Chains A and B, each alone.
Chain A
Amino acid sequence: MYRRSFLKGLLWFISARIFSRNGVTRAIASTNPDTTATTHANGKSIIKGYDPTRHRYAMGIDVDKCIGCNRCVEACTVENDVPPEPFFTRTWVERYVIKKDKSVHVENISNGSDGPKERLEEADILRSFFVPKLCNQCENPPCVQVCPVGATFSTEDGVVLIDSERCIGCGYCIQACPYGARYLHPKTRTADKCTFCYHRIVKGMLPACVEVCPTGARVFGDLKNRASRLVRFERMNKIHVLKPHLNTHPKVYYADLDGEVR
């Protein structure tokens, strides 16, 4: 007879839910005002005195100023507890060497060595420079589209974050990112990437890499603030983004980027 009473109970439960639905929703709404607002209201009550809808963060990189010292990579590793080995980094610096025969050599100088590694024959170099790279915090992020469990998302202030408790470590997003900005964290086995140091920027501080950059090659700012350094940087420089044809709308802006940079 258990089945009979179970089915009866189920029937009561279902009908009760249907009729009480509106009332319950209203009750929740009255205790928590955020629920009635748009779904974008997140964050308002989370961080005291901080309204994410009033910010839109982005970074500018002055390629001509980067000296490839790797201070940014080291600071990022410390600030965000990125494991020192096996050489995963949230940001990294690439050395581009364009030789006189027009061949392009790209080398990541941030993976484990103290400063630049390879010495090239100087007479062969046509031009050479460093390009710092990091998560582009795309407006239209491919990593968010592919996540099967919805663990990664864009916040109101334009930063792409990962819910490490939802992430199942399938690695789809790592494959999907055209900039190679994501990696699988060797300890948590979840995807990890640059967050623009979200815990710092909501407190009005600069991301760690921008803080320590000795030459000011990295510029951080708020696109919604007319008086931010980044807006001025955009105004004064010719701005490029990486892989614009992919329609990801990156928010890391490179000034005077060489055409060879991919």
Chain B
Amino acid sequence: MFERIPEQIRRLAIVFVIVIGGTVVLRYFVLPPSLFETRLHRESTIQREVAKQVKFAGTTVCGGCHEDTATVKRKGFHKNLSCESCHGPAAMHTEDPMTVKPFAPRKRKFCPLCHEYDPSRPTGFPQINVTIHNPLKPCITCHNPHHPEPPTVPRECSACHAGIARTKAVSHHALIACTTCHRASRKHKVSPRRVKPTKPDTREFCGKCHREGSKRKDAPKIDLSTHGGRYLCWECHYPHMPGVA
């Protein structure tokens, strides 16, 4: 049987056996098993991954120093909001509080990232129309970001004058109380048509903020002597939504 295989094939078979056997010996007996081990590579990957710098400190850390703000925030609508959602990564600040200060968004374009109206946003999430909602003022003039609440009109007025209250709430004059311009006597509530509240009766009343040289910095200024002639301001400008109508 064995003799019937030609000589050259037998020799070739020997070579094959030697090569295969050598490979097996080399792979399983000579080369150290650690050469095929993935454990070391994986460990070093995990080590590299773990050594990465943490940049967001986590909201629990902030309250340790900023106790007052944390107490205010805990009661408001933003109670579940992490500090770093708005203030950005602050791990550096926790290590060196004096020199590294976190970002504080003050611009008007920041809050609409969450609160601008978008049809894809869930129903019930507070959203505004940025173009008509009290234009050009930063959100923080009216809303405290740590305790956000819409500026309220005294219920005494808004109970009847809800339309005016809604309009005023999104206007430049949102922060001016009804009683700044109107004085309503107690009788107005009893017989609203007979006893009416007062309206500003001089141009100088609006001029307190809007005349040139007044201390109010953010109010638009006019020259009372040339602007508007003999008319009262509110005869042309609608004070509950100034600038628009």
Q: Which residues of A contact B (CB under 8 A)?
A: 13-14, 17-18, 21, 24-25, 28, 39, 42-43, 46-47, 64-71, 75, 78-80, 95-97, 114-116, 120, 122, 125, 128-130, 150, 153, 155, 161-166, 195, 198-200, 202-203, 205-206, 208, 211-216
Contacts and interface: CB of A to CB of B under 8 A. Distances in A.
12 contacts: A24-B32, A42-B43, A46-B47, A67-B121, A68-B121, A79-B54, A80-B52, A95-B120, A165-B44, A199-B54, A200-B56, A212-B56
Contacts of A195: 49
B29 A69 contact: no
Interface string B25-50: 10001101110011101111111111
Given A212-B85, A214-B81, A42 B120 contact: no
A198 B54 contact: no
Contacts, number: 142
A25 to B, nearest CB: 7
B88 interface: yes
A211 B84 contact: yes
Contact of A214 (B25, B44, B85, B122): B85
A178 to B, nearest CB: 23
Interface of B: 25, 29-30, 32-34, 37-39, 41-56, 58-59, 78, 80-82, 84-85, 88-89, 109, 112-114, 116, 118-122, 125
A248 B46 CA distance: 23
B119 A122 contact: yes
A71 B109 CA distance: 14
Contacts of B122: 64-67, 129
Given A42-B42, A68-B118, A214-B85, A21 B56 contact: no
A164 B41 CA distance: 10
Contacts of A128: 119-120
Contacts of A165: 41, 44-45, 48
Given A42-B39, A69-B113, A214-B81, A202 B50 contact: yes
Contact of A46 (B46, B54, B80, B89): B46
Given A75-B56, A200-B54, A42 B46 contact: yes
Contacts of B59: 211
A161 B55 contact: no
Given A163-B41, A205-B58, A212-B82, A125 B119 contact: yes
Contact of B58 (A71, A161, A206): A206
B120 to A, nearest CB: 4
B85 A213 contact: yes
A214 B145 CA distance: 13
A68 B56 contact: no
A129 B120 contact: yes
Contact of B45 (A14, A67, A78, A162): A162
A47 B56 contact: no
Contact of A208 (B32, B56, B109, B116): B56
A212 B80 CA distance: 10
Interface centre among B45, B52, B54, B109, by most chain A C-beta atoms within 10 angstroms, is B45
Contacts of A21: 29
Given A21-B29, A46-B47, A162-B45, A67 B54 contact: no
Contacts of B118: 67-68, 116
B35 to A, nearest CB: 12
A208 B38 CA distance: 29
Given A14-B25, A71-B113, A163 B33 contact: no
A205 B54 contact: yes
A213 B103 CA distance: 17
Nearest to B22: A14
A13 B119 CA distance: 74
Contacts of B51: 199
A165 B47 CA distance: 12
A199 B81 contact: no
Nearest to A204: B58
A24 B32 CA distance: 9
Nearest to B30: A17
Contacts of B78: 214
Contact of A75 (B49, B81, B89, B112): B89
B206 to A, nearest CB: 37
A216 B47 CA distance: 30
A47 B45 CA distance: 12
B80 to A, nearest CB: 6
Contacts of B89: 75, 78-79
